[in-house]
């Protein structure tokens, strides 16, 4: 038997829900003279049906578009959700691709007075052990050196991925990969240099491989992760050298 597609099944469930809500409203809540205890009990049932409505509406993709309602607002023709209403919850499928939100970018050339006012998206998720953060903002004013200098932070879209102490930072202007510190952390900031500026003796210490095409265009960068030697292997190496 062929399984129902999401749209007809959802429309069927919502029709059943709306009929139940209308029945309780007309029979027990709007009717005059209904016993107070009975009305209170069915009021609680009505609230639970409202929660079910919210859950079902999360599954709706508004396939049939919107219709105008009172106040000039637009409501979905299927689930009744008002267009532009902020969701309190997310509903994701257990299997298959998960989709959260839409891709946003800086959308103004104006300089905002603060980062909060300039922020468009500031969100994060922990997904199967990895942490992903997305930050999108327009230009905004800030301070440097404890407020001694006024600066303007450029508008940007920043993605940060964290895994096993490493951080991959992607923004409008570059890609930055931070590795976990080796040994004890040092106080000075890490040095920075172009590959052409470094002597060969230093380059040989860095596990970096450059990918490029026949036209000498950069295609990618491969960094081999430094692996920590286990205590067992160190003991085996020491014992074998003594033997």
Query: For residue 162, what are the domain limits?
Result: 115-242
The single residue listed with the structure tokens 């209170």 is 40
CA 177 vs CA 30, 98, 159, 161, 200: distances in Å: 62, 25, 12, 10, 22
- Same domain assignment for residues 141 and 221: yes
Domains identified in the chain, total number: 2
DSSP line for 190-207:
PP---GGGS-HHHHTTS-
Average pLDDT over residues 12-25: 95
91 is a domain residue: no
C-alpha to C-alpha distance for 67 and 84, rounded to whole angstroms: 13
68 belongs to a structural domain? yes
Domain assignment present for 216: yes
pLDDT in tens, 56-70: 999 998 999 999 998
Count the neighbouring beta carbons within 10 Å of the beta carbon of residue 169. 15
By mean pLDDT, which of 99-108, 126-135, 166-175, 231-240 is the weakest? 231-240
Average pLDDT value over all residues in the chain: 88
Residue ending a domain, choose from 25, 49, 76: 76
Share of the chain above pLDDT 90, in %: 62
In a domain, 69, yes or no: yes
Domain membership of residue 88 (yes or no) is: no
Q: What is the pLDDT of residue 2?
A: 45
Q: What is the pLDDT of residues 149-175, one digit of tens each?
A: 899 999 999 999 999 989 999 999 999
Same domain, yes or no, for 163 and 237?
yes
Rounded-to-integer distance, Cα 59 and Cα 42, Å = 26
Q: How many whole angstroms separate alpha carbon 134 and alpha carbon 140?
A: 18
If asked whether residues 145 and 48 sit together in one domain, one would say no
Residue 102 belongs to some domain of the structure: no
1 in a structural domain: no
The predicted model gives 198-208 an average pLDDT of: 91
Q: Is the same domain home to 69 and 135?
A: no
């Amino acid at each position: 038997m062929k399984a129902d597609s999401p749209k007809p099944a959802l429309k069927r469930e919502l029709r059943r829900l709306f009929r139940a809500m209308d029945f309780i409203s007309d029979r027990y809540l709007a009717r005059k003279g209904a016993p107070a205890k009975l009305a209170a009990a069915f009021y609680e049932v009505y609230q639970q049906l409202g929660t079910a409505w919210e859950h079902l509406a999360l599954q709706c993709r508004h396939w049939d578009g919107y219709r105008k309602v009172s106040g000039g607002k637009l409501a979905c023709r299927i689930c009744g959700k008002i267009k532009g209403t902020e969701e309190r919850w997310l509903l994701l499928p257990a299997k298959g691709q998960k989709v959260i939100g839409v891709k946003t970018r800086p959308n103004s050339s104006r300089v905002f007075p603060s980062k909060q006012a300039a922020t468009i998206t500031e969100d994060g998720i922990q997904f199967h052990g990895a942490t992903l953060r997305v930050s999108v903002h327009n230009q905004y004013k800030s301070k440097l050196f404890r407020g001694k200098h006024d600066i303007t932070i450029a508008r940007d879209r920043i993605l940060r991925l964290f895994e096993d102490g490493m951080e991959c930072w992607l923004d409008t202007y570059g890609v930055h990969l931070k590795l976990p510190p080796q040994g004890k952390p040092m106080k000075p900031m890490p040095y920075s240099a172009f590959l052409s500026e470094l002597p060969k003796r230093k380059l040989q210490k860095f596990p970096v491989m450059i990918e490029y095409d026949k036209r000498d265009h950069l295609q990618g960068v491969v960094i081999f992760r430094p692996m920590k030697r286990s205590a067992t292997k160190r003991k085996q190496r020491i014992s074998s050298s003594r033997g």
